Amino acid sequence: MAFESIFKADLFSGQTVIVTGGGSGIGRCTAHELAALGATVVLVGRKPEKLQAVAAEIAEDRGRAHWKSCDIRDEEAVKTLVSELIREHGPIHGLVNNAGGQYPSPLASINQKGFETVLRTNLVGGFLMAREVFNQSMSKHGGSIVNMLADMWGGMPGMGHSGAARSGMDNFTKTAAFEWGYAGVRVNAVAPGWIASSGMDTYEGAFKAVIPTLREHVPLKRIGTEPEVSAAIVFLLSPAAAFISGSTLRIDGAASLGNRAWPLHKATRSESFNGFHRAYMPDVLKDKE
């Protein structure tokens, strides 16, 4: 089987695209789709074994993937990483700033270290990757960057550290798009809502118990799929989005809209897109569809 992308098979032929956090979840799915469309994908993350596993999957599907272990929160490590990738693969055409992570906690219980760690992972690391890819490659050759946000438009109760970081990334996206446009560099972002991804299985306790009920708060009455996010990322990287920059695309089934005064009706129809042949159903959602 192969990735059933809606885009033409050679869309990214001859291009090198970095996907951070490519060892699992949305990053893994996006890397598969880009490779299926002809890109040479470079998977970046902290855990070599996960990156190796995804690279092997892509090779098995006859795509091209390489991997590099790097802590993107480390400025010098990021500088070295980007330099090595340019030396090995030439110009960087695309960057998917997908790496991130957080944990559930009310604001009153988050200490300084925890708050700063989440900001460094979800905001500072993405800034460092984008800055180095721009300075070392895209400022000379152009390119496209897609940053990862989340549904934080109404605040992010229970994950205020992540909400602060994602909000900062939204503003960084706009600023970078404006400052770097002269070089032919486009910078956009995606903001997924509740997506059926392996990350859901990292939560425990009360938050885990809530996950199967989340679909009831989505107007489309379902959880999103990884390839629905991947397709949006691929579009923003593609020539079809050549005049789109500084934008954030929400992928949340309209869950971030409306208010409690307007009741949601029972679902009548909502079909998901499931083009990823190696999609992973989180354990927390199994037998609950």
Model confidence pLDDT, tens digit, residues 9-22 = 999 999 999 999 99
pTM of the model: 0.92
Alpha helices in the chain (DSSP H): 25-36, 48-60, 75-89, 112-119, 125-133, 139-141, 160-180, 205-210, 226-237
Whether 191 is covered by a domain: the verdict is yes
Distance CA 270, CA 278 (A): 22
DSSP SS3 for 95:
strand
Q: Is residue 75 pLDDT above 80, yes or no?
A: yes
- In the structure encoding, which two tokens stand for residue 239, read together? 């020539």
For residue 28, being part of any structural domain is answered with yes
Confidence class of residue 213 from pLDDT cuts 50, 70 and 90?
confident
Q: Hey, CA dihedral for 61, 62, 68, 72, is it positive or negative?
A: negative
Say what the pLDDT of residue 81 is: 98
Asked if 163 and 155 touch (Cβ cutoff 8 Å), the reply is: yes
Average pLDDT of the chain is 93
At residue 189 the predicted structure's pLDDT band, cuts being 50, 70 and 90, is: very high
Tokens representing 150 are 């989340």
Map tokens 């693969």 to a residue: 89
Residue 2 forms part of a structural domain: no
Fill in the DSSP letter of residue 153. B
270 within domain boundaries = no
CATH number of residue 117's parent domain: 3.40.50.720
Quote the DSSP letter at residue 228: H
Q: Where are the alpha helices (DSSP H) in 104-225?
A: 112-119, 125-133, 139-141, 160-180, 205-210
Task: Report, as an integer, the average pLDDT of 92-99.
Answer: 97
Output the pLDDT for position 104. Answer: 87
Q: Domain span at residue 225?
A: 16-253+279-285
Number of domains in the chain: 1
**Spatial distance between the Cα atoms of 271 and 226, rounded to a whole number of angstroms:** 14
Report if residue 98 sits inside a domain.
yes
- Ranges 107-121, 133-147, 200-214, 250-264: which has the least confidence: 200-214
Helix (H) or strand (E) holding 123: none
pLDDT digits over 247-286, tens only? Answer: 999 999 999 998 777 878 887 777 888 888 888 778 777 7
With respect to residue 269, please indicate whether it lies within any of the assigned structural domains: no
Whether residue 268 is contained in a domain is answered as no
Residue 118 lies in a domain: yes
Contact 65, 35 (CB under 8 A): yes
